[in-house]
Structures are given as structure tokens and as C-alpha cells.
Structure 1
């Protein structure tokens, strides 16, 4: 029977990638982390010794603490958070159990340096449409929930990245960009180790909409239409990004949970009376 202080691998895997995902805190010691320097999607590393100081960073959210095998480090850190009034659980079985379940993990070497405020910083061209909204969605939902995105004039992306320690994406001649027929979202899914069936399905839809190959997925024209509509609704790129987060949340949940569901009208015919 599961402990009342733990969360199961299955339950956490259903929360990751959704707006309701708790703060995920990896407290593996250096030896265990060096043995496999990957992270459960969306988690951040923090020393377990500093657990009593984490309260402000996770205030207003629940938390799941992850250690190597789900024992003393995660149990103790989660208890400290509960002492501070934060709903916190330890991941049952820890990082080892997550890998044993065949679930994805993000290589730490692919993560850029942390911003002083606690998140990574990325920069791209202003007036985003598809890839430049989809990639931030992927990063915030599966890589770094606190990521900051800067939208600037196209010719200034590289220089802004250098001066403000931001990672450029979806521009030419950078690591995080189109490769052959793949769009930037495809590249991020691959490089971040997120090649799950739902995300690969979503990637095909995004690629079709982003590269004018609407035949790649029946849903691609719908994503293109919604994306262009959003770009007309918002003059502010950050407001458009926030609206786009909801759009991609919906597409992801369809890819994960609803591809076999259909809808018809009327849903039920009224009973005929004599």
C-alpha cells in the first residue's frame, strides 16, 4: 500500500506536461546524479541540505521531491516543505523507478545555465506564429517551468543572446533551430529526450503547420488557423505566448488522451412518442 507521504510514478507521469504539474525538485546527491545526469522532465536540482529555505520558491504550488530511490533524502525534504505549509510528496521509488518504468528523462547537458532568478533565458524573433510559441510551451511544460523568453528584432537575436546570456532559438545558424525537414520543435523533442508518442504526434502537427506541409497531419491546418488568429489578436508577444500556452495544452491533451474520441451532433436522438 502506498505511503501517504508519496506519489506514484504513474500519477506523476500524468501530471507532467500539464498546467497542474507540481514543482518537481531533484535532491539526488552528486554521486547518484553523476551516475546518470538526467532529470525527470520539468524538475530542478536543489541540495537537500537547503530544504528549509525552499518555501518562497515553491509558495502557492504543491511539490514532489525526487531522490535516487525515494527514501531518506526525498522523504526528509518533503517533510520540511510540509512543515512550511506546502503540500509535498516524495516520488515513490525515486529516479530509479522512473527510469525502470521507461519514462523520459532530460539530459542535464542540454540545459543552458540558470538565470539568477531561477530559470533559463531564451531569445528569438518577435511576432511569433507557430514554432516560436510551441517551443516555449515545450520548455515550460517539460524542461524549465520558470523559463524566460525574450522576443526581439530578428537582426538582434544573436547579439541579445550574447549580451543577456540568453539562448537563441528558431533563427538560422544556431543549435536550437530547423534541421533539414525538421522544425525547431522537432529538434527540441529529440535533444531533450522527450520522444514520447504524444509529443511525436504533436510534433508532426506543428511541423506541418510551421513548414507549409499541411498534408503531414489532418490537424495541421487547424493549428495554422488558430496560430494565425492568435497573432492577429495580440500585439504583445508575451500576451500571445500566454494564450498560446492554453492552445498547446489543448493540443497536447488531445494527442495524449483523445485521439480515438469522436464527436457528432446530435449526440442522442430524442425518444419518439406515438
Structure 2
């Protein structure tokens, strides 16, 4: 019988990467984390021993707590969070069960150093179109939900990155950029270790739209049209990013759940002509 204080691996596997996913908190000990320095996508590291100090500051309505085996550490932290009014559950089986199920995990070394507020900071060229909206979506949904994105003049990206401790992306001669035929979104999917079939399919769509290879996937033309339309609708890059997140949420859910579904109009009525 399921415990009222836990959530199953199967249920979390349907939630992660979506805007409705609860806050994911990894409370493994330093020793356990050092043995496997990877994270359930979108989770943030916190110390179980100092939970009374940080629980009240956690900006979340719901949370899922992850320890090594889903036992005392996650149960205790989840209880503390509930004490502070956060609906919290422990992940059944913990990180070990997630990894054993061959579900994606993000290498901690690939996440840029976080700022004083615990956020990764990224910088790229202003006036984004496709890759520079797709990549922030991927980071917010699968790497760091609180990531900060700075859009600046193209010639200042690397200097801003250096002065403000930000990771530059989608510009030439940096780690997070195009590689051969791959666009930056492809590179992030690979480097972050999140190459599930839905994300790989979405990556082909992004690549097709971003590199004028609309033959890669039929949906690439639609993404290109929607992306160019958004760039005309918004003069503020951050407002465009907010709108673009919903666009990529929809493409991802289609790639994950609805590729076999079709839509016909008019629908055949009972007893009517077919």
C-alpha cells in the first residue's frame, strides 16, 4: 500500500520537465553525492541537517525530497517542509531507485556555478529567435528552474559573462554553442544527459528550424513560424522568453504524449455519413 508521505518513481517521471512539477530537493549526504555526483533533472541540493534554517525560505507550494534510498533523510526533510506549510513528499527508493530505472540524471559538473541566491546565470545575444528561447526552456525545465538569463548586445556577451559570472551560450567559440550540424539545444541535451526520445525528437525540430533544415522534422516549419511570430510580438526579450516557455511546453508534451494522435474535422456523427 502506497505511503501518504511518498511519491512513486513512475509518478515523478511524468511530472519532471513540466511546468507543474513540484520543487525537487536533493538532500543526499555529501558522501553519497560524491559517489554519484548527478541530480534528478531540475533538482537543487540542500543539506538535511540545516533544514530548520532553510525550510521557511523555500519558495514552493509543493516539494519532492530525494535522498539516497528514500528513507529517513527525505522523510524527515519532507516532514519539516510540511511543518512550514509546503505539501512535501519523499521519493520512494530515492536517487538509487531513480537511477536504477534508467531515468535521466544531470551531471553536477555541467551546471555553471550558482550565484548567492542559488541560481545559475546565463548570457546570450539579445533578440532571441529559436535556439536562444529553446535553450532557456530546457534549462528551466530540466536543469535549474530558477536560472537567470541575460540578453545583451552580441559583441558584449563574453565580457558580460566574465564580469557577472554568467555562462555564455549560443555564440561562437564558447562551450555551449553549435557543434558541426548540431545546434546549441542539441549540445545541451547531450551534455546534460537528458537525451530521452521526446527531447531528442524536439531537438531535431529545433535544429531544423534554427538551421534552415526544415526537412529534418515536419514540425520544424511550424516552430520556425511560431518563433518568428513571437519575435515580432514582443520587443522585450524576457517577455518573449516567458511566452516562448509555453510554446516549448506544448511541443514537448506533444513529443512525449501525442505524436500518434490525429485530428479530423468534421467528426463522424453516430448514424451519419462516414
Give the number of equivalent residue pairs.
Answer: 273
User: CA offsets per residue over residues 129-169 of structure 1, 9 Å max, x none?
Assistant: 00000000000000000000000000000000000000000
The reply on whether 1:171 has 2:153 as its aligned counterpart is no
Q: CA deviation at 1:56?
A: 4.2
For 1:227, the equivalent position in structure 2 comes to 227
For 1:134, the equivalent position in structure 2 comes to 134
User: CA offsets per residue over residues 45-98 of structure 1, 9 Å max, x none?
Assistant: 010012123334433420000000000110000000011111000000000000
Q: CA deviation at 1:267?
A: 1.9
The reply on whether 1:125 has 2:125 as its aligned counterpart is yes
Q: 1:59·1:86 contact (CA, 8 Å) conserved in 2?
A: no
Q: 2:23·2:60 contact (CA, 8 Å) conserved in 1?
A: no
For 2:148, the equivalent position in structure 1 comes to 148
For 1:250, the equivalent position in structure 2 comes to 250
Q: Output aligned runs, 1:1-274, within 5 Å.
A: 1-269=1-269, 271-272=271-272
Q: 2:40·2:104 contact (CA, 8 Å) conserved in 1?
A: yes
Q: 1:176·1:188 contact (CA, 8 Å) conserved in 2?
A: yes
Q: 2:39·2:107 contact (CA, 8 Å) conserved in 1?
A: yes
User: What is the TM-score with the length of structure 1 in the denominator?
Assistant: 0.98
Structure 1, unaligned runs of 5 or more: none
Q: 1:157 to 1:263 in 2, by over 3 A?
A: same
Structure 2, unaligned runs of 5 or more: none
Q: CA deviation at 1:128?
A: 0.1
User: What is the TM-score with the length of structure 2 in the denominator?
Assistant: 0.98
Q: 1:130 to 1:90 in 2, by over 3 A?
A: same
Q: 1:122·1:166 contact (CA, 8 Å) conserved in 2?
A: yes
Q: 2: CA distance between counterparts of 1:209 and 1:219? A: 9
Q: 1: CA distance between counterparts of 2:127 and 2:39? A: 32
Q: CA deviation at 1:252?
A: 0.1
Q: Secondary structure at the match of 2:215?
A: helix
Q: 2:55·2:80 contact (CA, 8 Å) conserved in 1?
A: no
User: CA offsets per residue over residues 202-221 of structure 1, 9 Å max, x none?
Assistant: 00000000000000000000
Q: 1: CA distance between counterparts of 2:177 and 2:27? A: 32
Q: 2: CA distance between counterparts of 1:121 and 1:192? A: 16
Q: Secondary structure at the match of 1:85?
A: coil
Q: 2: CA distance between counterparts of 1:123 and 1:56? A: 31
